[in-house]
Copies of this chain bind each other. A is one copy, B any other.
Amino acid sequence: MPAKRSAASQSLRAAQMYYLQDLTMDAIARELRTSRSTVSRLLSAARESGLVQIQIRSPQDSAPELERALRSRFRVDVHVVPVLDTLNEAEVLERVCIQAARLISPLVDSSAVIGVAWGSTVSTLSRHLTRKITHGSTIVQLNGAGNTQTTGITYASEIMRRFGNAYEAKVEQFPVPAFFDHAETKTLMWDERSVRRILDLQARMTMAIFGVGSIDADIPSHVYSGGYLDETDLDSLSAGNVVGDVATVFFRANGSSDGIAMNLRSSGPDLDVLRTVRRRVCVVSGASKISGLRGALAAGLATDLILDETTARILVDPDTAGAAEFSTAEHRDYSS
């Protein structure tokens, strides 16, 4: 009686029988009069397309010590990604991002305006996004990606495209350099209507997704090595006690960012604007980002933090590692 149906509809049936009725693929294949392999593929498609949603809800009491400590200390919703501390940086990044993608998915809803930064973390994240059907959502680029060697368009736009794809959202690029050479050029550009459109969109963000850069990382991140900043710039940053950045906007260890000259030339969002966004998801992988992360937390930039276990451990208890530079007491809370 159930004759041929659309692929999506078949996927739905299969998914219901598999995940909701606990039938084996074999049994489902017989009911749908097809081969088991087809059912396997239908189920893949169902997961792939976001039809099947798998969530892990950790009740407070079984949430590990670590998450609770971070949650109460920094007032953010923390997700610690379990990893062995013997894995190499790339593997950890990969796994943090796979998990982050799944954790973000349920936070996205229709008519969302999602600000997205770029950088190796967000790029990796973008490659693992799980699809979710939403309507009328928009992805807006948080900061320009151009530098002296390239317009950065292809790199950043690839990231944006993946986000747009996963959530069926409109993509709004931000085709400006990451840093202007002259602050006044930025000021003028910021009055251009084409740019205003993006800035207005940013002001209406319901969600922002970003990593952090840390200036003293063993392997300094993209921004600090990739042709975005010259010697003079770097010097001015250290002179200003900058510890890191979010979307190419810099801050100090205590979270303050006033008077940092580079920010006047940066295309990234004013941190005060960023702080008005309801959900601000920060993804961090790797212990070398610790000081940048500390600054970002002190600045109250994140409402949700996803990070690997190793880094989380250092964050709560710097004594166990050599990365201790600031005590928590010094941190002033800049969150709204």
Q: Is A259 an interface residue (CB 8 A)?
A: no
A21 close to B58 (CB less than 8 A): no
Closest 3 CB pairs of A and B: A8-B62, A20-B99, A53-B55
Give min CB distance, A33 to chain B, whole Å: 10
Q: Is A31 an interface residue (CB 8 A)?
A: yes
A54 close to B54 (CB less than 8 A): yes
Copies of this chain present: 2
Given A62-B6, A64-B12, A21–B56 Cβ distance below 8 Å? no
Q: Is A158 an interface residue (CB 8 A)?
A: no
Given A20-B103, A103-B20, A62–B51 Cβ distance below 8 Å? yes
Q: Is A59 an interface residue (CB 8 A)?
A: yes
A residues near B, CB below 8 A? 1-2, 5-6, 8-9, 11-13, 15-17, 19-22, 31, 46, 50-59, 61-64, 81-82, 84-85, 95, 98-99, 102-103, 133, 309, 313
List B contacts of A62 (CB < 8 A).
Answer: 6, 8-9, 11-12, 51
A15 close to B52 (CB less than 8 A): no
List B contacts of A8 (CB < 8 A).
Answer: 61-62
B17 close to A82 (CB less than 8 A): yes
Tell me the bound Cα distance from A11 to B56 in angstroms.
Answer: 11
List B contacts of A133 (CB < 8 A).
Answer: 57, 59
Q: A13-B82, A20-B81 are in contact. List 18 more A-B contacts (CB 8 A).
A: A1-B313, A2-B309, A6-B62, A12-B56, A13-B64, A19-B54, A19-B102, A20-B56, A21-B81, A21-B95, A21-B99, A51-B56, A51-B58, A52-B55, A53-B54, A53-B55, A54-B55, A57-B133
A81 close to B22 (CB less than 8 A): no
List B contacts of A55 (CB < 8 A).
Answer: 52-55
